[in-house]
Amino acid sequence: MDLKEIAELMSFDMGLDIKASHLKRVGSWLFLYRKDLYDEGGSKEVECFTLPCGPDTFEAYTDIPYDASPFATTKDARAMSVAKLNEDYAAYLKDSGEHDKAEEFLTGKRPFGYGLLAVSGDCGGGMSDRHDLIVLNGEHFEAVKDFLRYELEWSMLCTENDQEAMNEFYRKSGKPTNGSNLIDVGVFGHKWHIRSNWLLVEMENGHLLNDFGFKLNTIKQGEHET
C-alpha cells in the first residue's frame, strides 16, 4: 500500500483526519505525526508502528519526540531514531521469547530453523559433559547433507562387519575430506567436530523442539571460537 491508502485506512480506524504527508515509512517502521499528540512536557510526539501493520487496525508500538524522528530536519537524528527503535523492538521480542521474529525483523528473513546436535564422539559428551549444538543458517547446506549421508551410510556398513566394503567406501568418500570441507565453509569449527556424530534437529526461537536431555554448548554457524 502507498502512504495515501494507509492514511485513509488509519483515518477510518482512528477517527482522525490523517493525510499521507503525516506519514513516513523508513525500513520496517511507519511513523505518524499527529498534531494532537504531545508528551507531558508539551513537546510534539510521533507514533511508531512496526510494518506490516493494518489494514483493519493500527496499534502503535511506541512514540518518540518529533525532533528525534524521521520528521526531524537533521539526517543524523533521523538515522539514530530508526536504529534505536530497531534495537529496542528486537530486545522486546527476545525478552518475549520471540527470537525468530526478532531475527526476521532485523534481517528480513526467518531463521533457517535447524541445527546440528553432536550426540556422541568428542563434542557429543566425549570430552566434557556438554554436547555441541551448531545453529545452522542455511548456507552450505548441501555440504551438510553430504556429510550426514556419509555418516548414515558408514553406520549401516558398520553393522555388516564387512571390512573390505568399509575400506572401499572410505576410499571413495573419505570422512576427513567431507569434514574438512565443513571446517573450510564455517559449519564445523575444528577437528573435534569431525570426530563427533551428528543429528539434524529442528529448532524454534533458539531452542530445540525436542529435549534430548543434554547439557548444550550452543554455537552459531560461522561463529566458532578459534
Q: How many other C-beta atoms are found inside a 10 Å radius of the C-beta of residue 142?
A: 8
Is the pLDDT higher at 16 or at 177? 16
Non-local (6+) Cβ contacts of 79 within 8 A are none
Share of the chain above pLDDT 90, in %: 55
| Of 22-31, 71-80, 190-199, the least confident | 71-80
Mean of all residue pLDDT scores within the chain = 88
Of 118, 113, 122, 141, residue with least CA distance to 214: 118
Distance separating alpha carbons of residues 175 and 177, to the nearest angstrom: 5
Global pTM value = 0.69
- Is pLDDT at 91 greater than 80 in this prediction? yes
| Block residue for cell numbers 531452542 | 207
More confident: 137 or 174:
137
| pLDDT above 90 (res 127) | yes
- Rounded to whole angstroms, how far apart are CA atoms 58 and 132? 43
Continuous segment of H or E residues that includes residue 175? helix 175-184
102, 153 Cβ separation under 8 angstroms = no
| Total Cβ atoms within 10 A of residue 162 | 12
pLDDT higher at 22 or 68 = 22
Beta bridge partners of 121: 196
**Which secondary-structure segment (H or E) carries 48?**
strand 44-50
- What lies within 8 Å, CB to CB, of 223 at 6+ separation is none
